[in-house]
Amino acid sequence: MPRQPRPDSYIINAIFLQALVASEEVMGAEGLNAVLRNCGLERFVGNYPPNDLAHVVKTTDYARLNAAIEDSYGHTGRGILRRIGRASFQYAIREQAALMGIAGAAIKLLPEKQRIKFILNGLVNALKKSNADVNAWVEEKDGVIAFIDQTCGICWNRESTHPICHVYIGSVSEAVKWATGFDYEITETHCSAMGHEYCRFEVGTQKK
């Protein structure tokens, strides 16, 4: 029996703007505009939302954009989405550091594991400011740090036999690199699209 769809919610303009700017940076304006038209989001072609906290964009629209990018680019779509995730985090650092609660933070003085937890908690803070209904957190069990989102917008009301939150993998990867100076393996161990309770992104070992 198919799962019941989750009731729709909204994300703030700043988060969707971040997604569009990052997507354009990776795919180019023409590539992004083609995807927006193909998935019924043509109202955003040349008409990005303002960088504010207004709740205007539906979470299903954000999920639809992610699905359309993966579908449009075939087997390369996952890599493109991860690049978009990295670019999205870089944009957030440049334009929305206050939203993440990291502006002026002396993070380099912390031990490496604490740096990772600090920046991932910054992502949690930004999400919760974008939507009061967000349920996300950072956990550490047996020395393993993971970022968990029970209200993931990337796979909102999508179904899959495998993890599909590639943008999140890119964002978490770039966040950890920004905090530590090193690339780490990031693995999505659980995905709501697969029927799991939440999406979980585990921070593994440093890449060689």
* Structure confidence by residue, pLDDT tens digits, 86-97: 999 998 888 777
Q: Which range scores top for mean pLDDT: 10-14, 175-179, 204-208?
A: 175-179
151 within domain boundaries? yes
- Domain count for the chain, please give it: 1
| Cα–Cα distance for residue pair 153/1, rounded to 1 Å | 23
Q: Structure pTM?
A: 0.90
* Structure confidence by residue, pLDDT tens digits, 64-119: 999 999 999 988 999 999 999 999 999 888 877 776 767 556 677 789 999 999 99
47 within domain boundaries? yes
* Structure confidence by residue, pLDDT tens digits, 136-146: 999 999 999 99
Half-sphere exposure (CA, 13 Å, Cβ side) for 100? 22
* Structure confidence by residue, pLDDT tens digits, 17-66: 999 999 999 999 999 999 999 999 999 999 999 988 888 899 999 999 99
49 within domain boundaries? yes
| Residues 117, 118, 124, 126, Cα dihedral to 10° | -160
DSSP letter at 4?
P
| Cα–Cα distance for residue pair 100/171, rounded to 1 Å | 13
Half-sphere exposure (CA, 13 Å, Cβ side) for 161? 0
4 within domain boundaries? no
Q: Domain range spanning residue 194?
A: 10-206
Mean pLDDT calculated for residue range 176-180: 94
What CATH number does residue 151 fall under? 3.90.1520.10
1 within domain boundaries? no
3 within domain boundaries? no
